[in-house]
Amino acid sequence: MQFPDPLIRGRLVRRYKRFLSDIELEDGTVVTAHCANPGSMLGLHEPDSEVWLSPSRNPDRKLKFSWELIRVGDGLVGINTAYPNRLVEEAVAAGRIAELADYESFRREVKYGKNSRIDLLLEDPAKPPCYVEVKNVHLMREDGLAEFPDSVTKRGAKHLVELGDMVEEGHRAVMFYLVQREDCDRFSIAGDIDPDYKAELERARGRGVEAICYACRLTTEGIEVAEPVRLDL
């Protein structure tokens, strides 16, 4: 996934009201940018951090910029939670996800479960359909260890139950964790933040739901799915 326009460098002043952030640009101008992230962003909203914004192409949009990246240490972290579905879709289409290869076609946002939509439904006449739920990951509290979630997610727990139901109906179900950073080689569940989600994942895996995790490669030009990350579950 390439950013459609060059990103603009700035310095984070503050993030507030979940979806707003004040950014000081290099010329000293302070702008309010959209923050497409409903989570806590633990460790990713330190004032004075280097951040990167994308300009809006819509002249009527109230907020003219969107916050895309933040530098943590020597690397970039993607904070936009609207991207993981698209990134995984691109990687699956390109055959870069070994665990999800060799399906004839896929569809997005297909209704299933109880008023839910699956992120990707992979289909092939020779095998059962595969339901893929994608979750964005960017929390790192211990060097090299990516964790999910960064806040309580009842919706995420609901999806795990529904994925287990799909397995019991004879389908394949996969929980795909996408780490929007490059400095992690392990993945685990933050059970201290959301013990119910951790318990629900354990139940789902017991029912046959698979879990996989991949990291991303990030630059100020674009983001792409890179290599698999080891599961510590």
- In a domain? residue 79: no
CATH of the domain at 188: 3.40.1350.60
- In a domain? residue 2: no
Residue that finishes a domain, picked among 74, 103, 131: 74
* CA dist., res. 88 & res. 141, Å (int): 24
- In a domain? residue 47: yes
Structure tokens given for 100:
């999800």
**Going by C-beta distance under 8 Å and a sequence separation of 6 or more, which residues neighbour residue 211?**
174, 175, 177, 201, 205, 231, 233
196 and 133 share one domain: yes
167 is in which domain, residue-wise? 84-231
- 114 band by pLDDT with thresholds 50, 70 and 90: confident
Sheet holding 186-189, edge to edge: 139-142, 145-148, 186-189, 230-231
55 and 112 share one domain: no
Q: Tell me the angle at which helices 195-206 and 154-168 cross, rounded to the nearest 10 degrees.
A: 10
User: Would you list the DSSP string of 172-202?
Assistant: EEEEEEEE-BSS-SEEEE-TTT-HHHHHHHH
Q: What is the mean pLDDT of residues 109-123?
A: 92
User: Total structural domains in the chain?
Assistant: 2
* CA dist., res. 217 & res. 171, Å (int): 31
pLDDT digits (tens, 9 = 90+) for 14-57: 999 989 999 999 999 999 999 999 989 999 999 999 999 999 98
pLDDT digits (tens, 9 = 90+) for 163-203: 999 999 999 999 999 999 999 999 999 999 999 999 999 99
- 84 band by pLDDT with thresholds 50, 70 and 90: very high
38 and 68 share one domain: yes
Let me know: does 18 contact 38? Beta carbons within 8 Å: yes
Let me know: does 215 contact 184? Beta carbons within 8 Å: yes
pLDDT at 111: 92
- Its pTM stands at 0.94
Residue that finishes a domain, picked among 74, 97, 115: 74
Phi, psi of 115 (to 5 degrees): 60, 35
Let me know: does 94 contact 106? Beta carbons within 8 Å: no
Residue that finishes a domain, picked among 31, 49, 74: 74
* CA dist., res. 218 & res. 233, Å (int): 26
pLDDT digits (tens, 9 = 90+) for 57-68: 888 889 999 999
